[in-house]
Amino acid sequence: MKLHEKLQHLSLESVEDLMRLYYSGDKATNEIIGLFNINISPSRLYTLFPPEELDDRLCPHCDSKMIVNRPSKTNYPKNNNTPFCSTCGHKENYSCKCDKCISDRELKLKRLKEEKERKDLEKRKLIELVYCNVSHKPINIDSLEFEDKVYLGSLLRFALSEDMSNILPLESMEGSLAPGEIKYDIIRYLYSKNIITVHPMSSLSAFKEGEDFPNTFYINLVNYHLNIKYDVDKSCTINEILNSKMLKEEIQINLAYNMWKQIALQECLEYLDYQMKKVGFSFNPGEKTNVVFNDLLDNFSVSQIYGIIYKSITNATRYYQENKITKKQAANSVITRCQGFGERAFIEQWQISKYSRLKDLPQSCLSEFLFNKVLKIGSKGFDEIPSIEIIECEVCRPCD
Ligand SMILES: [Zn+2]
Ligand SMILES: [Zn+2]
C-alpha cells in the first residue's frame, strides 16, 4: 500500500509507531508531528494514515480485501468510516456509486419495471373480461325516464370526452357535477339502471386492489361507457340528451320540484360548510341541520338562505370573540340562529336580501342543466323559493 506523500520519509515500522503513539494519547499531537517531522496541522494528522485492512471482509464484487480509513483520536476506538474496496472502489453502503453497484441497481429496477408491466397487463385482461361492454344490452333512448334524462344530461355535459367515446372520471374534472352527495347519487342511479357501465379503458388505480380485483371500483375514478343505443347517428343521439330536447309532457313536475329542493338543500349545506370553515368553526351537519334548512326552503330562496347563514355565523363569531361562549358552542349555535332568524323574518315579513353565488362555490352542472335547459327557469332556481307553481308556469306556458 502506498504511503501518503507527507509520510514517505518514514519507514512502515515508523508509521506503525506513529499511529500507536497518536491513538495511545500519551503525547500531544503537535509534539508527535514534531517528533516525526510531518508537515500537517494536528487536527488533520490522522487523515494521512494508511487505511486499515479488514481481514474478515472481502469485496462482494471482486473478492479484494475491504479497507477503511482511520478515525480521528476523538472517535477512537470507534470507527464510523465506511469500508471500501481498494481495487474496484465499492463502498459498503446502499448508495454506493461503483460501476457494478450502479449496473446492479439498474438491472433490479428494470426487472421490477418488467414485473409491474406483466402484472398490469394481467390486470388489464381481467378488467376487459369483467367489464367488456358487449355483455350490457344498450338502452333505447326512448325508454329513458325524466330523472334518467336529467341526470344523464348533466353528467354528459360535465364529463363526456371530446371524442364522445366515454365519460371521464369525475375526479379528473374541474367544477362540480352536483352539490354535496348528489354527485355520487347521480352516478349510482345511472349505474344501477345500466345507463352507464364501467368502461374497460379505466385506469388500473380506479379499481380496488386485492383478491376481488377488479370487481370493486371507485365511482369517482373510473371512466364510464354510455350504454345507449344509437339508432341513426351517435352524435345526434348524444346531442338530444345534451340539449334536453324534452317534450313538455315528459317533464314530471313533482319529480322536478323534488330535484330542485334537493339541489337547494345541498347548495345551502355547501355554503354553510364553506363559511363555517372560513371562520374556523368545525361542524358536522346532522339530521337536525337538514330539517332546519328544508324548513327554511319552504319560505326562502337559496340566495336568501345564504344571507341568513352569513348573518348567523357573523353573530356567533361576535359572541365568541366577546368571550361570551366557547368556540364549540358558537359553532353549534349557528343552526339554531339560522332557524330563529328564519322564523322571525317570516312572521315579521322582513325583506331578506339576496346573496350571490361565491366564486369558490360555482353553480354545479346539474343545477345549470335542470334550471336552464330542462325547466327553463334560469336564475329563479337560486333566487326564488322552490315551488311547483314556478315550474308549472314555465313548463305550461303556451309556445311562443
Ligand atoms: Zn471490489
Ligand atoms: Zn459498489
- Strands (E) across 172-317 are located at 196-198, 224-226, 228-229
The 3-class secondary structure across 88-124, one letter per residue, is: CCCECCCCCCCHHHHHHHHHHHHHHHHHHHHHHHHHH
Q: Measured between alpha carbons, how far is 301 from 289 in angstroms, rounded to an integer? A: 17
Ligand nearest to C-alpha 99: 2
CA 102 / ligand 2 centre spacing (Å):
7
DSSP state of 50: P
CA 49 / ligand 2 centre spacing (Å):
24
CA 66 / ligand 1 centre spacing (Å):
8
- Strands (E) across 21-169 are located at 52-58, 65-68, 84-85, 139-140
At residue 113, the pLDDT reads 98
Ligand nearest to C-alpha 88: 1
Residues around ligand 2, an ion, CB closer than 5 A: 90, 96, 98, 101
Given a contact cutoff of 8 angstroms between Cβ atoms, the answer to whether 384 and 390 are in contact is yes
CA 372 / ligand 1 centre spacing (Å):
75
CA 7 / ligand 2 centre spacing (Å):
29
CA 71 / ligand 2 centre spacing (Å):
22
DSSP state of 364: P
Ligand nearest to C-alpha 91: 2
Cell numbers that stand for 321 in this block: 370573540
Give the DSSP H or E segment for 268.
helix 253-278
CA 275 / ligand 1 centre spacing (Å):
65
Look at the alpha carbons of 326, 331, 333, 337 in this order and tell me if their dihedral is positive or negative.
Answer: positive
CA 102 / ligand 1 centre spacing (Å):
13
Give the DSSP H or E segment for 279.
none
CA 82 / ligand 2 centre spacing (Å):
12
Count the neighbouring beta carbons within 10 Å of the beta carbon of residue 315. Answer: 15
In this structure, the dihedral spanned by the alpha carbons of residues 341, 306, 286 and 219, taken in order and rounded to 10 degrees, is 170
CA 113 / ligand 1 centre spacing (Å):
28
Give CA 119 to chain center in angstroms.
Answer: 25
Q: CA dist 70 to 177, 276, 324, Å?
A: 67, 63, 69
Given a contact cutoff of 8 angstroms between Cβ atoms, the answer to whether 313 and 267 are in contact is no
Q: State pLDDT tens for residues 137-149.
A: 899 888 999 999 9
Q: What are phi and psi of 53, to 5 degrees?
A: -85, 135
CA 7 / ligand 1 centre spacing (Å):
26
At residue 397, the pLDDT reads 67
Give the closest residue to 19 by CA, choosing from 29, 5, 6, 8: 29
CA 112 / ligand 2 centre spacing (Å):
20
Ligand nearest to C-alpha 103: 2
CA 46 / ligand 2 centre spacing (Å):
25
Low-confidence ranges of the chain (pLDDT < 50): 399-400
CA 106 / ligand 2 centre spacing (Å):
13
CA 61 / ligand 2 centre spacing (Å):
8
Mean pLDDT of the chain: 93
Count the neighbouring beta carbons within 10 Å of the beta carbon of residue 183. Answer: 22
At residue 13, the pLDDT reads 95
Q: CA dist 261 to 37, 265, 300, 375, Å?
A: 95, 6, 11, 14
At residue 29, the pLDDT reads 94
Give CA 335 to chain center in angstroms.
Answer: 30
Ligand nearest to C-alpha 87: 1
Count the neighbouring beta carbons within 10 Å of the beta carbon of residue 160. Answer: 18
CA 90 / ligand 1 centre spacing (Å):
5
Given a contact cutoff of 8 angstroms between Cβ atoms, the answer to whether 334 and 306 are in contact is no
How many Cα atoms within 13 Å fall on the side-chain side of residue 255? 12
At residue 134, the pLDDT reads 65
At residue 368, the pLDDT reads 96
Ligand nearest to C-alpha 65: 1
Ligand nearest to C-alpha 101: 2
Give Cβ neighbours of residue 130 (< 8 Å, ≥ 6 apart): 214, 215
Cell numbers that stand for 131 in this block: 367489464
Ligand nearest to C-alpha 102: 2
CA 109 / ligand 1 centre spacing (Å):
22
In this structure, the dihedral spanned by the alpha carbons of residues 179, 185, 187 and 188, taken in order and rounded to 10 degrees, is 170
Residues around ligand 1, an ion, CB closer than 5 A: 59, 61-62, 64, 85, 87-88, 90
